Copies of this chain bind each other. A is one copy, B any other.
């Protein structure tokens, strides 16, 4: 969506293609160089930053919509994506918005009952990506983006600070129940790499010996007979996720602590 015409058409006719009253907000966690960040977009006409999101097509399965929205933004498919909450309580989510606002901001005339300004619930999804591999697309509505450290999130649009907080909480809960990392690490990775990933997500230190013991005991990863060369240091062994056990654990859940 890049030309002014497309945008006007989306505003005027979007309700024919998309469901009104429901949107998807994605908290895209990016991991790279031992930092956990989230993707924020500059929505034009608003001061401040907001989350990526979108609408669901009229006949599109919900999960497909979530993947599509993510893919349009990041060009990635096949990543860890999980629904975590529906937001519909904050004043921003219970009231209508003003079309007058839109007129001012985008210079377009809309009717009072335009679909975009009616009350909209938001379904929160979180995703995990390696942000160095992502090619972020902007469009007419969003002319800038940045990766923001999870510990330094600025004031966001609407109730989105609450969305981010909840996403982080659910991610940290999820990591105790599901294996995480498949989409954030190269296919073959070292213990220090996955160790540091988990530490970053949980925001706390994990004993290195105990950590690798645990992952191996759970059967989630297996040691390979190869090493990675990392410059002037001892070469770490490479590991791989044990696909069968990983899938099993994703489905059945794990009960443990790290």
Interface positions of A (Cβ within 8 A of B): 19-22, 56, 58-65, 83, 85-89, 93-95, 119, 121, 123, 173, 176-177, 253, 255, 257
Contacts and interface: CB of A to CB of B under 8 A. Distances in A.
Nearest to A173: B253
Contact of A61 (B22, B85, B94, B257): B94
Contact of A62 (B56, B121, B176, B255): B121
A199 to B, nearest CB: 18
Nearest to A66: B88
B83 A63 contact: no
A255 B257 contact: yes
Query: Interface majority SS on A: helix, strand, loop or mixed?
Result: mixed
A56 B176 contact: no
Contacts of A94: 59-61
Contacts of A123: 86
Nearest to A20: B21
B59 A88 contact: no
A22 B123 CA distance: 11
Nearest to A91: B61
A119 B58 contact: yes
Looking at A88, A173, A255, the one whose CB has the most chain B CB atoms below 10 A away is A88
Contact of A21 (B19, B93, B95, B257): B19
